[in-house]
Amino acid sequence: MSMIPTMRHVRGFDVVRPLSIGMLMFMMLPLVFLPLLSIFIFGTSKGLASFWSALTASEAVFALKLSMVTSFWATVFNVVFGLFAAYVISRHNFWGRNALIVTISLPTAIPTAVAGFALLLLWGPYGTLGRFLAPHGIQIMFTAGAIILANIFVTFPLAFGVIKPVFDTMSRSLEEASATIGATRWQTFWHVTLPSLRGAIVSGALLTFARAVGEFGSTILVSGNLAGRTQTAPLYIFAKFNEGQIEAANAIAIVLALFSFLIFSVLFFAREWLDVD
């Protein structure tokens, strides 16, 4: 009955190893590999020249730039905020602390479309706050600012989620030692605490950035989706797909796919490199 274990022992060869690896790859084939592959096949089906001209169309270039810039600022904000929030929450115990942790994590589960219209209901020209700003000519929605706000909302928990566990497990003895030799709180934070968070900060930033670049659901609601003005790369892809220009959509999709591949590769190696302490 027990053929396989016997064989394994006899031949000194673990059948389960290639079998399980092969099975893993096979399962990922239709779920991830093939869908990604079809983007590449379709995007280049009309030749590299048409792929290139789709990529360098002025609206496409603008959309990519806009995505990068808005995601960058959302990342800066969320890393600084995540660092601050993780510091406060893991160093102090206070009433409402757990509720705060839950609230920070909420955007993970909220549909991005809800994030979008929640922002519209607040900042829109007829929104709770927006209606008081509109008469002064201040409009946040349907500008790049709205895209940044939406990115901040949907990526809110990411950097915090990576940084907080490191804070939690960090040995306090180094900080205490630093304090006993006369360092101020700020010096301790800058020279002792922060350096040990390097890995977490870099991976938190990359995760936030990658997620923000791909954001669609909230952006389509708050940006106004004007080509060459407030249209981000994912919106451009969606618009081109709807227009039936599937090659144009695919060209940008390829760029974003390669981009996320790059980000996660960097993430993988950066962690190994920065986290050894």
Contact predicate 214/204, CB 8 Å: no
User: Which pair of structure tokens corresponds to residue 91?
Assistant: 């160093």
User: Which pair of structure tokens corresponds to residue 160?
Assistant: 């915090």
Min CB(59)–another protein separation in Å = 9
Min CB(180)–another protein separation in Å = 22
Min CB(233)–another protein separation in Å = 12
Q: Which is nearer to another protein, 139 or 260 (CB)?
A: 139
Q: Which is nearer to another protein, 168 or 243 (CB)?
A: 243
Min CB(70)–another protein separation in Å = 8
Min CB(98)–another protein separation in Å = 32
Min CB(160)–another protein separation in Å = 18
Q: Which is nearer to another protein, 19 or 226 (CB)?
A: 226
Q: Which is nearer to another protein, 55 or 144 (CB)?
A: 144
Q: Which is nearer to another protein, 71 or 90 (CB)?
A: 71
Q: Which is nearer to another protein, 146 or 154 (CB)?
A: 146
Cα atoms in the Cβ-side hemisphere of radius 13 Å centred on 120: 15
Q: Which long-range contacts (CB under 8 A, 24 or more apart) does 121-125 make?
A: 123/149
Name the residues that contact another protein, by CB under 8 A: 58, 62, 65-66, 69, 72-73, 76, 120, 124-126, 130, 139, 141-142, 144, 194-195, 198, 201-202, 221, 224-229, 239, 241-244, 246, 274, 277
